[in-house]
């Protein structure tokens, strides 16, 4: 039986209004890997049972062909396997129209889906809302927005836009202004799937629900913070996209800075969207400009030999940087961020390094300090884990100390099966009009503003070997500290 789940950071909410999801890029990679299976789960789990999906892309395709594509995608990529009865229940909600048929055909397909929802509910006057999901390349986003305007599909609608949202401050401002010509800001949902992950939201729970940690979450007790997202994967056919963006624009502005805001923000006045987004924006406003001298850019050996890459390409496939937040809580505490392709491990780690005691009463050979400072580590992979490391006495005679840890894992809880995948949560939030985990126009423009010194004057890329941890210069960037990865971390099984 399909699990019914309503797990959220806030108390469970009611199901959204009846929705027609217009899925642009419905035949693309993201739709196949995440979006179609995610919407299937929302329907079958009764989180969003009154849902119909109009798929659209540049390809010509019948409803039956689109349903077959969706079934293959679910079989290939979904972690959940529906029964035949469950699949039949979902696929009847799928229809397709080609973008090449124009805005009138799209409007007619949406109207038919709305009529089907009203017929299902037995109420011809029932309100039906629309969610336009733009799973398209950034260069195609504005043409889709214009098409929605011509199709008169703006009323009763929200729009979900994928990253990157611009490539610098000027382009972000232009894109915001252009989208605002058709959609109001409260209709726009700029998506970052990192913040839809259960462990990212657990940072907020850990900080603000526990009297033990919030009093020490500041410059007095914290030495530095690391946000580390190395990837073992290469570019897998995304050369064209990457040549126009690179690691910093693709990952740091859109993902790592958002996680940084969760780590650094002040307590919101309430657990509601406007209050949380305002505290995140305060962090962004407090960030100092990213200076090129605080950045190491890298490019893996062999990148320039990839098809479609210029022989003198300066595109970064790796970036590490030092960020400072100029406010009362974080003055003097460096935040180190690192991400890249073809690195030694695939991880998503937030590591809080606490200051060491100013003096030690233990003898020089006791082991104190030998394994670095105490750390609070958040593992942001889907199997959420938290670890607090500390020194403890080794059993036996004498005073020898070893690093020990206390650990928590999401899978240890009774509600582990209730966790939503990131895209499922964010699609549901967008249907509900909940902006908590989405970025504002102000926020994204501010992040490009602090990135301007780097964007305008990037340091040259340094070559690193695939399977390594990046260029050697990263060690000078983080000195006198060391990178938390690689490190020997044994999670409890």
Q: Give the position of tokens 């999901």.
A: 133
* Interval 453-457 mean pLDDT: 96
List strands edge to edge, sheet with 318-323.
401-409, 385-393, 375-379, 349-354, 222-230, 335-340, 318-323, 295-300, 462-464
Report whether pLDDT(5) > 60: no
152 is in an annotated binding site: no
pLDDT for the residue 14: 65
pLDDT for the residue 114: 95
Across the chain, mean pLDDT equals: 88
28 is in an annotated binding site: yes
* Rounded Cα gap, residues 246 and 238, in angstroms: 11
HSE-up of residue 380 (Cα within 13 Å, Cβ side): 27
Give the pLDDT band of residue 322 (cuts 50, 70, 90): very high
385 is in an annotated binding site: no
* Interval 176-196 mean pLDDT: 91
306 is in an annotated binding site: no
- Is the bond into 232 cis (omega within 30 degrees of 0)? no
Residue 458's contacts (CB-CB under 8 Å, 6 or more residues apart) are 292, 295, 297, 314, 316
DSSP secondary structure letter of residue 35: I
305 is in an annotated binding site: no
163 is in an annotated binding site: yes
- Is the bond into 480 cis (omega within 30 degrees of 0)? yes
For the entire predicted model, the pTM comes to 0.89
Catalytic positions: 255
Report whether pLDDT(211) > 50: yes
* Interval 125-131 mean pLDDT: 91
**141-150 vs 169-180: helix crossing angle, rounded to 10:** 10
* DSSP notation for 419-430: PPPHHHHHHHHH
212 is in an annotated binding site: no
Report whether pLDDT(11) > 50: no
Which SS3 state, helix, strand or coil, does residue 475 take? helix
250 is in an annotated binding site: yes
* Interval 347-376 mean pLDDT: 78
Report whether pLDDT(237) > 80: no
Domain 19-162 has CATH 3.40.50.720: yes
* DSSP notation for 124-176: TT---EEEEEE-S-GGGHHHHHHHHHHTT--TTEEEEEPSP--SSHHHHHHHH
Report whether pLDDT(417) > 90: no
326 is in an annotated binding site: no
Sign of CA dihedral 317, 320, 326, 328: positive
CA angle 9, 329, 450 (to 5 degrees): 85
Enumerate the β-bridge partners of residue 228. 338, 349
pLDDT for the residue 416: 56
Report whether pLDDT(234) > 80: yes
The radius of gyration of the chain's CA atoms, rounded to the nearest angstrom, is 24
pLDDT for the residue 389: 79
Domain extents in the chain: 19-162, 195-422+441-478
* Interval 64-70 mean pLDDT: 96
393 is in an annotated binding site: no
Superfamily classification of domain 195-422+441-478:
Dihydrodipicolinate Reductase; domain 2 (3.30.360.10)
193 is in an annotated binding site: yes
Q: Give the position of tokens 């011809």.
A: 124
Residue 200's contacts (CB-CB under 8 Å, 6 or more residues apart) are 194, 259, 262, 380
Report whether pLDDT(339) > 50: yes
């Amino acid at each position: 039986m399909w699990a019914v789940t309503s797990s959220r950071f806030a108390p469970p909410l009611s199901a959204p209004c009846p929705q027609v999801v217009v899925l642009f890029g419905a035949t693309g990679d993201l739709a196949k890997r995440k979006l179609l299976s995610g919407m299937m789960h929302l329907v079958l789990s009764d989180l969003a049972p009154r849902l119909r999906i109009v798929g659209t892309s540049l390809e010509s395709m019948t409803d039956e062909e689109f349903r077959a594509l969706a079934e293959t995608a679910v079989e290939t990529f979904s972690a959940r396997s529906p029964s035949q009865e469950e699949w039949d229940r979902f696929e009847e909600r799928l229809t397709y129209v080609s973008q090449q048929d124009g805005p009138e055909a799209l409007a007619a397909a949406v109207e038919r889906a709305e009529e089907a929802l009203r017929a299902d509910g037995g109420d011809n006057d029932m309100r039906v809302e629309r969610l336009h999901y733009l799973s398209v390349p950034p260069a195609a986003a504005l043409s889709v927005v214009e098409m929605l305007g011509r199709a008169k599909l703006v009323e009763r609608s929200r729009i979900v836009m994928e990253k990157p949202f611009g490539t610098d401050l000027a382009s972000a401002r232009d894109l915001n202004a252009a989208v605002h010509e058709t959609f109001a800001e409260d209709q726009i949902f700029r998506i970052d799937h990192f913040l839809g992950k259960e462990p990212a939201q657990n940072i907020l729970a850990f900080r603000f629900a526990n009297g033990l940690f919030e009093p020490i979450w500041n410059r007095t007790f914290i030495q530095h913070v690391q946000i580390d997202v190395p990837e073992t994967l290469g570019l897998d056919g995304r050369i064209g996209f990457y040549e126009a963006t690179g690691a910093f624009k693709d990952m740091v502005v859109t993902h790592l800075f958002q996680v940084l805001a969760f780590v650094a923000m002040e307590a919101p006045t309430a657990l509601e969207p406007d209050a949380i987004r305002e505290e995140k924006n305060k962090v962004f406003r407090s960030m100092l400009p990213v200076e090129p001298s605080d950045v190491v850019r890298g490019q893996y050996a062999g990148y320039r030999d990839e098809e479609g890459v210029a022989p003198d390409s300066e595109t970064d496939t790796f970036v590490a940087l030092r960020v400072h937040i100029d406010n009362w809580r974080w003055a003097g505490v460096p935040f180190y961020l690192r991400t890249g392709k073809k690195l030694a491990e695939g991880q998503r780690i937030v590591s809080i390094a606490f200051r060491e005691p100013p003096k030690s009463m233990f003898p020089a050979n006791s082991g104190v300090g030998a394994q670095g400072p105490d750390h609070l580590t958040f593992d942001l992979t889907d199997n959420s884990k938290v670890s607090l490391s500390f020194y403890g006495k080794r059993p036996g005679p004498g005073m020898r100390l070893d690093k020990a840890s206390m650990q928590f894992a999401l899978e240890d809880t009774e509600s582990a099966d209730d966790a939503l995948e990131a895209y499922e949560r964010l699609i549901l939030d967008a249907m509900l009009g909940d902006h908590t985990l989405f970025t504002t126009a102000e926020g994204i423009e501010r992040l490009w503003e602090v990135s301007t010194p780097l964007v305008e004057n990037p340091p040259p890329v340094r070559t690193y070997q695939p399977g390594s941890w990046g260029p050697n210069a990263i060690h000078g960037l983080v000195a006198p500290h060391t990178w938390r990865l690689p490190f020997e971390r044994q999670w409890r099984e």
